[in-house]
């Protein structure tokens, strides 16, 4: 079997791929065939890049590169130029993973590394790559969609136009955004699946998302930010990051206490950048900052206490008569 000769078998990664394919199918419906074309290109170049590095080391390609490629592709705007997507995935796999020694040795999440690279290197192109999604008639009748604004929800909130937003539009994914991040309901389903199958660590998901929710609420109700928490949490990629990026088993810490702090760093950094910096989204910076401190957090945090096995009860002895 060719795939067996080319790839390392990683069952956990296959579960993540299954969850991401769900988002890919819906994104294709929303934005058209271009979604499939971009992700096919990204997947092919991601596998090829890792193969070139691993071939020199005499090793197989990890199935994790499929996850990296899909995560990177789905984190891009629908109209991103093909050449930008190509440059980004090659950078993600080569610089974010291969130069560290391949799977299991990388410090930073490769998909986030590539995503941040293209957003910083080609900001104008990325901002011009949004497109209004297709809305099925069923949803139009169900939640009353008349029109979709031509700006991202975070941009609308920053300019005080929250009255133009609709919670259900955001929840079902009918808004401007990256290919895989907008459908909140599907990301939630994926999160439940990955948690139930013990593919993703629930502490990482919960700590990242709850930290972002708490800080958004604090900043909004104290007047420090115009980002309403219930809209902000449905906007951008905070839930997508919580479910798929913060749970990366290689770049995340292992100890339970460390995972809570790790999620706090990602969620907190995201909200601080969203609220007070000029960059439109802070999730990528949050993940990379968390990656930077993951090993240190694991080193300084106490290990989980192991439960002592219950002592076997001795059978009662008969008293002498």
3-class DSSP string for 81-133? CHHHHHHHHHHHHHHHCHHHCCCCCCCCCHHHHHHHHHHHHCHHHHHCCCCCC
Nearest to 89 by CA among 108, 107, 66: 66
Task: Return the minimum-mean-pLDDT range out of 47-51, 173-177, 193-197.
Answer: 173-177
Ramachandran quadrant class, 173 (left: phi over 0; alpha: psi -120 to 50; beta: rest): left
R_g of the chain computed on alpha carbons: 22
Q: In angstroms, rounded to a whole number, what is the distance separating the alpha carbons of residues 290 and 272?
A: 14
Q: What is the pTM of this model?
A: 0.87
Beta-bridge partners for 7: 61
Task: Share the mean pLDDT of the chain.
Answer: 86
Predicted local distance difference test score (pLDDT) of residue 149 = 59
Q: State mean pLDDT over 243-251.
A: 93
Identify the DSSP state of 163: G
pLDDT digits (tens, 9 = 90+) for 60-82: 899 999 999 999 999 999 999 99
In our burial notation (b when 16+ CB lie closer than 10 A, e otherwise), range 290-302 reads: bbeebeebbeebe
Q: How many whole angstroms separate alpha carbon 259 and alpha carbon 242?
A: 12
Q: What is the mean pLDDT of residues 276-303?
A: 89
Residue 62, helix vs strand vs coil: strand
pLDDT higher than threshold 60 for residue 142? no
What's the average model confidence in pLDDT over 201-208?
Answer: 96
Percent of the chain with pLDDT over 70: 87
Residue 257's SS3 state is helix
The 3-state DSSP class for residue 7 equals strand
- Find out whether 129 and 304 touch, Cβ atoms under 8 Å: no
The answer on pLDDT for 41 being more than 80 is: yes
């Amino acid at each position: 079997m060719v795939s067996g000769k080319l790839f390392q078998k990683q069952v956990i990664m296959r579960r993540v791929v299954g969850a991401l394919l769900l988002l890919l199918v819906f994104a294709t419906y929303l934005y058209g065939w271009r979604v499939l074309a971009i992700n096919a290109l990204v997947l092919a170049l991601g596998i090829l890049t890792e193969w070139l590095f691993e071939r020199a080391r005499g090793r197989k390609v990890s199935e994790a590169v499929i996850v990296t490629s899909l995560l990177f592709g789905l984190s891009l705007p629908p109209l991103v130029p093909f050449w930008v997507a190509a440059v980004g995935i090659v950078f993600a796999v080569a610089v974010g993973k291969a130069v560290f020694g391949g799977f299991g040795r990388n410090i930073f999440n490769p998909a986030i590394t590539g995503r941040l690279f293209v957003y910083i290197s080609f900001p104008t192109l990325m901002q011009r790559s949004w497109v209004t999604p297709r809305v099925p008639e069923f949803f139009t009748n169900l939640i009353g969609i008349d029109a979709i604004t031509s700006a991202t929800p975070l941009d609308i909130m920053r300019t005080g136009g929250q009255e133009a937003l609709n919670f259900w539009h955001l929840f079902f994914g009918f808004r401007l955004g990256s290919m895989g991040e907008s459908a909140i309901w599907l990301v939630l389903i994926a999160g439940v699946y990955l948690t139930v199958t013990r593919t993703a660590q629930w502490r990482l998901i919960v700590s990242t998302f709850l930290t972002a929710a708490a800080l958004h609420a604090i900043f909004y109700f104290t007047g420090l930010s115009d980002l309403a928490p219930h809209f902000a949490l449905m906007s951008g990629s905070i839930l997508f990051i919580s479910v798929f990026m913060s749970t990366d088993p290689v770049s995340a810490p292992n100890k339970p206490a460390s995972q809570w702090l790790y999620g706090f760093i990602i969620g907190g950094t995201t909200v601080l950048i969203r609220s007070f910096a000029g960059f439109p989204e802070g999730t990528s910076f949050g993940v990379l900052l968390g990656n930077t401190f993951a090993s240190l957090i694991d080193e300084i945090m106490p290990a989980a206490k192991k439960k002592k096995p219950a002592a076997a009860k001795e059978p009662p002895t008969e008293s002498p008569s």
